[in-house]
Amino acid sequence: MKKVSCIFIVDDDPITVFGIKKMLKSVTKCDDVQIFQNGKEAYDALLERHESNKTIPDVIFLDINMPIMDGWDFLDELIILDLKEHIIINMITSSIDPLDHQKWSSFKDRCPYILNFKNKPIFKIEATDLGLMDMAS
């Protein structure tokens, strides 16, 4: 089983969080999985880790529609932060609104991190979603 050191799940829907956690179990082993209800909480935690030189998450599962700070706003803040670490961000949404897809593609161009777009429902998390591709090959 490939290991990922730290994963953030940012989503206000407990069922989705449950699903992601369950699916993660079958692809990787990770001791540090953190759950956040909205972008603000996740950002605050990330900032705290960055400032105190703690492990920055390798992978972030990010919902778009959340209270207080939504997925887009979180991305904006993260781009400004310009972390040197390699991060994979998987945007998970039930939206099939083409506008959201366009927005994602414009973010992808200016985001220093890997930015994936995944439509719900998801049934399986791939190793590539966790950046484990090179180790598998």
Partner 1 sequence: MLASQISKKKLKENKSFSLRHKISNHNGTGHFKSYFAPWFDEKENVIGTIIQTDNITAEVEKEHQVEWLQNILETKVEVSKTGWWEFEIATEQLTWCKETKRIHHVPDCFEPTTAEAIEFFKPGYSRNKVSMLFHKAIENQQSYDTNLMIITFNGEERWVRITGKPYVENGNTVKVFGTIRDIHDEVMAENKVKEHQQLLSTLVDSLPLNVYVKDLESRKILINKGESHYINKSKEEIIGKNDFDIYNEDTAKISREEDIQVMKHLTPIIGKETAITHNGKTTHFLTSKIPYFDLDGKVCGLIGMSLDISSIKKKEGELRDLIKITSMQNQKLIDFAHIVSHNLRSHSANFSMLLEFLKSENDPTERERITKMLSQASDNLLETLENLNQVVDVNTNTSVTKKPLFLKQNIVKVLQNFSAFLNKYDSQIINHVAEDIKVECVPAYLDSIILNLISNAVKYRSPIRKPLIIINAVKSKEGVLLSISDNGLGIDLEKYGDKIFGMYKTFHNKEDSKGFGLYLVKNQIEAMGGSITVQSDVDRGTTFNVYFNEES
Q: Which residues bind partner 1 (CB under 8 A)?
A: 13-16, 18-19, 22, 37-38, 65, 67-68, 93-97, 120-123
Phi, psi of 14 (to 5 degrees): -60, -30
CA–CA separation, 73 and 126 (whole Å)? 26
Q: Whole-number minimum distance, CB 33 to partner 1, in Å?
A: 17
Give the nearer residue to partner 1 in terms of CB position, either 15 or 136. 15
Q: Answer yes or no: are the C-beta atoms of 83 and 111 closer than 8 Å.
A: no
Of the candidates 41, 44, 35, the one whose C-alpha atom is nearest the C-alpha of residue 67 is 41
Q: Which is nearer to partner 1, 22 or 110 (CB)?
A: 22
Least distance CB 52 / partner 1 (angstroms)? 24
18 versus 102: smaller Cβ distance to partner 1: 18
How far apart are CB 13 and partner 1 at their closest, in Å? 7
Identify which of residues 80 and 96 has a Cβ nearer to partner 1 in the complex.
96
| Minimum distance, C-beta of residue 31 to partner 1, in the bound complex (Å) | 21
User: What sign has the CA pseudo-torsion 94, 78, 103, 67?
Assistant: positive
